[in-house]
Structure 1
Amino acid sequence: MVSTIVWGTGNVGRAAIRAVAAHPGLELTAVLVHDPAKIGRDAGELAGLGRHLDVPASTDVEAALAAGPVAVVYAASGDMRPSEALDDVVRALRAGAVVVTPSLYALYDHRGAPPEIRRPVLAAIEEGGGSLFVSGVDPGWANDVLPLLVSGLASTVDAVRCQEIFDYSTYDQPDAVRYLVGMGQPMDYEPPMLAPSVPSMVWGGQVRLIARALGADLDDVREHVERRPLESAVKTASMGAFEAGTQGAVRFEVRGIVGGAPRIVLEHVTRIHPSCAPDWPAPPGGAGAHRVIIEGRPRIEVTVQATDEDGNHSAGGNATAAGRLVGAIEWLVEAGPGLYDALDVPLRPAIGKLGELGELGKLGKLGNVGRRNG
């Protein structure tokens, strides 16, 4: 069993605890939190499992790392604290752990990461013998392994488009929604997430990954941003009121230019209410979806919807992001020390997990499928 820490119990951390607890090859040995109110609470309670895991939450990072965990799922946000997130990950790497995280955007494609981020990570890996894999919370698989898999079904590929289409009123991070992205702010407010160069910093690595996998030479990575105001005031169930005339929708693209044309595009369409920008792409059912479109012959379109925590699409996206990261741990342990990306780390089948799917576990031997290989 691989001794595993989950560091952070927010949107991704809750899902990571559930994923580690369900994995037949991993053992949850510690949970690290920042909020003093969570100290001592059981990991199962924090993750909404409905049962205890006998792992109390702690703020003692030093003690948790001193215990020698094999793996760390770093789920603390890096949105508003990128330097602190980098320091935390470096600390875990120095302790010799395999670290998986969505929090270091610049390392999605580590080959193109700024030296001031890449250097301390490589030094920590050299010193401690750990390894690192960064995959996105948006979620990463929808912007790397899924489009690459689908592209292999086409005879010719003219362009690849990855879309996240989402209702932000269901996203359980009000500060990020209102201030980082700017929902509900005056139209002259400058959201940090939409500032020039920031979308490329966050998602450009995934554009470069796709280009590298397809053998395409990028001329450039460019940005395109559109914002729309609310035509009338709206009231949301979880985030309260948003006034007319304030930002109600955002659409941006990070475009990989090949041969002078945008051939690899990561597009985000986000709204605070479905009434805003009705002419923009919308998800089936209205809540959220990830879509991959391969323009070529044949034209291929795949839409994926995930739900978790009582049908929440935001929670479903977080859960699949956590599943990708947690599912990579055993491969990383086998691979040894290094800095890895999505093209290195395979997406493995859910071996040994079939018995965790509720009623299926009651169907005799079906619940034991794959456990010899777990």
Structure 2
Amino acid sequence: MISTIVWGTGNVGRAAIRAVDAHPGLELTAVVVHDPPKVGRDAGVLAGLDRELGVAATDDVHAVLAGRPQAVVYAASGDIRPDEALADVIRAIAAGAVVVTPALYALYDQRNAPAEVRDPVAAAVAIGGGSLFASGVDPGWGNDVLPILISGLGTEVDVIRCQEIFDYTTYDQEDSVRFLVGMGQPLDYDAPMIAATVPTMVWGGQVRMIARALAVEFDDIREVVERRPLERTVETAAMGTFEAGTQGALRFEVQGIVAGEPRIVVEHVTRIHASCAPDWPLPPTGDGAHRVIIEGNPRIEVSVEATDEKGNRADGGNATAVGRLVGAIDWLVAAEPGLYDALDVPLRPAVGRLGARRG
């Protein structure tokens, strides 16, 4: 059994605890929290399971890493604390752990990461013998391995388009929705997620990985952003009121330009209510989906709808992203220490988990 800790118990961390517990080759040995009221609480309770796991949450990072865990699922946020997240991950790698995380956007495509991010991680690998695999929660597989796999089914490929389409009406993540993405804010609000160069920083690596897999060189990466106002005030159960006239929908693209045309595109279409921007792409059913479209001969379209146990599609998407990361741990432990990306790490089958639901 591979001793594994989960660091952070937000939306991603809760899914990570459940994923580690369900994996037959992993043993959950510690859970790290930052919120004092969570200290001492059982991991199963924090994860929303109907049973305790016998692992009490702690805020003593030093003691946890001193125990030399083999793997760390780093689930704490990197959105508004990127420097702190990087420092945490470096600390775990230097302690000898394999680290999987969605928090370090710049390292999704680790080969082209800025030196100021990549070099300290590489130094930690050399010191401690750990490894790093970073992949997204949007989810990463939807913007790398899935489109690459599907592209191989076509005879001719003109455009590869990866879409995340979500209605945030029931999403319980108010700070991210209101302040990071800008829902409910004036249309001239400077939302950090769509500030110039930020979409490329977050999703450009996935565009580059698709290009690398297809042996394509692109001329440039471009960003296209469009925002729509709410035509009426809407109420949400999880986040309260969003006023008419404020941002109600956001659509942006990160485009890999080949011969002057956008050929590899990662696109996000998000709303705070289904009534806003009805002419934009919609999920096949429910409140969200991930879609890959291969324009070419033949035209191929694949939509993936993941739903968690409470029926939430956004959290279901998080769970699949976490499943990809947690499922890679045993491969990473067996591999040489180093930095890895989605093209290095194979998508792992659910060995030992078919029909083995617990609880």
Deviates more, 1:347-356 or 1:64-73: 347-356
Q: Cα deviations across residues 172-200 of structure 1 (Å, max 9, x unaligned)? A: 21011101110000112110111110100
In the alignment, the residues of structure 2 paired with residue 338 and residue 358 of structure 1 have an alpha-carbon distance, to the nearest angstrom, of 34
Alignment of 1:109-120 (within 5 A): 109-120=109-120
Contact 2:4–2:69 (CA under 8 A) maintained in structure 1: yes
Which residue matches 1:194?
A: 194
In the alignment, the residues of structure 2 paired with residue 317 and residue 350 of structure 1 have an alpha-carbon distance, to the nearest angstrom, of 17
Contact 1:170–1:313 (CA under 8 A) maintained in structure 2: no
In the alignment, the residues of structure 2 paired with residue 173 and residue 110 of structure 1 have an alpha-carbon distance, to the nearest angstrom, of 28
Which residue matches 1:272?
A: 272
Contact 2:22–2:357 (CA under 8 A) maintained in structure 1: no
What amino acid is aligned across from residue 154 of structure 1 in structure 2?
G
Which residue matches 1:345?
A: 345
Which residue matches 1:170?
A: 170
Q: Cα deviations across residues 139-183 of structure 1 (Å, max 9, x unaligned)? A: 100000100111111111111000000012222210111011100
Q: Cα deviations across residues 211-265 of structure 1 (Å, max 9, x unaligned)? A: 0000000111110000000011111121111000000000000000111110000
Shift of 1:358: 6.5
Alignment of 1:233-272 (within 5 A): 233-272=233-272
Structure 1 runs (4+) greater than 2 angstroms displaced: 169-172, 355-359
Which residue matches 1:159?
A: 159
Secondary structure in 1 matching 2:228: strand
In the alignment, the residues of structure 2 paired with residue 94 and residue 133 of structure 1 have an alpha-carbon distance, to the nearest angstrom, of 15
Secondary structure in 2 matching 1:354: coil
Which residue matches 1:11?
A: 11
Secondary structure in 2 matching 1:48: coil
In the alignment, the residues of structure 2 paired with residue 45 and residue 355 of structure 1 have an alpha-carbon distance, to the nearest angstrom, of 23
CA RMSD for the aligned pairs?
1.0
The alignment-based identity, stated in percent, is: 75
Contact 1:14–1:48 (CA under 8 A) maintained in structure 2: yes
Which residue matches 2:30?
A: 30
In the alignment, the residues of structure 2 paired with residue 357 and residue 292 of structure 1 have an alpha-carbon distance, to the nearest angstrom, of 30
In the alignment, the residues of structure 2 paired with residue 315 and residue 54 of structure 1 have an alpha-carbon distance, to the nearest angstrom, of 25
In the alignment, the residues of structure 1 paired with residue 170 and residue 31 of structure 2 have an alpha-carbon distance, to the nearest angstrom, of 26
Which residue matches 1:300?
A: 300
What amino acid is aligned across from residue 87 of structure 2 in structure 1?
D
1:122 aligns with 2:122: yes
In the alignment, the residues of structure 2 paired with residue 309 and residue 177 of structure 1 have an alpha-carbon distance, to the nearest angstrom, of 22
Q: Cα deviations across residues 314-359 of structure 1 (Å, max 9, x unaligned)? A: 1100100110000000000111201000000000110000132479
In the alignment, the residues of structure 2 paired with residue 356 and residue 59 of structure 1 have an alpha-carbon distance, to the nearest angstrom, of 32
Deviates more, 1:167-176 or 1:10-19: 167-176
In the alignment, the residues of structure 2 paired with residue 62 and residue 261 of structure 1 have an alpha-carbon distance, to the nearest angstrom, of 50
What amino acid is aligned across from residue 251 of structure 2 in structure 1?
R
In the alignment, the residues of structure 2 paired with residue 311 and residue 279 of structure 1 have an alpha-carbon distance, to the nearest angstrom, of 25
What amino acid is aligned across from residue 32 of structure 2 in structure 1?
L
What amino acid is aligned across from residue 303 of structure 1 in structure 2?
S
Which residue matches 1:136?
A: 136
Secondary structure in 1 matching 2:355: helix
What amino acid is aligned across from residue 245 of structure 1 in structure 2?
G
What amino acid is aligned across from residue 119 of structure 1 in structure 2?
D
In the alignment, the residues of structure 2 paired with residue 260 and residue 347 of structure 1 have an alpha-carbon distance, to the nearest angstrom, of 33
What amino acid is aligned across from residue 73 of structure 1 in structure 2?
V
Which residue matches 1:372?
A: none
Which residue matches 1:219?
A: 219
In the alignment, the residues of structure 1 paired with residue 3 and residue 44 of structure 2 have an alpha-carbon distance, to the nearest angstrom, of 17
What amino acid is aligned across from residue 110 of structure 1 in structure 2?
Q
In the alignment, the residues of structure 1 paired with residue 220 and residue 121 of structure 2 have an alpha-carbon distance, to the nearest angstrom, of 26
What amino acid is aligned across from residue 102 of structure 1 in structure 2?
P
Aligned length: 359
Contact 2:226–2:252 (CA under 8 A) maintained in structure 1: yes
Q: Cα deviations across residues 45-66 of structure 1 (Å, max 9, x unaligned)? A: 1111100100000000000000
**Structure 2: which 5+ runs fail to align?**
none
* TM-score, normalised with respect to structure 2: 0.99
What amino acid is aligned across from residue 280 of structure 1 in structure 2?
W
Which residue matches 1:362?
A: none
Which residue matches 1:335?
A: 335
Which residue matches 2:55?
A: 55
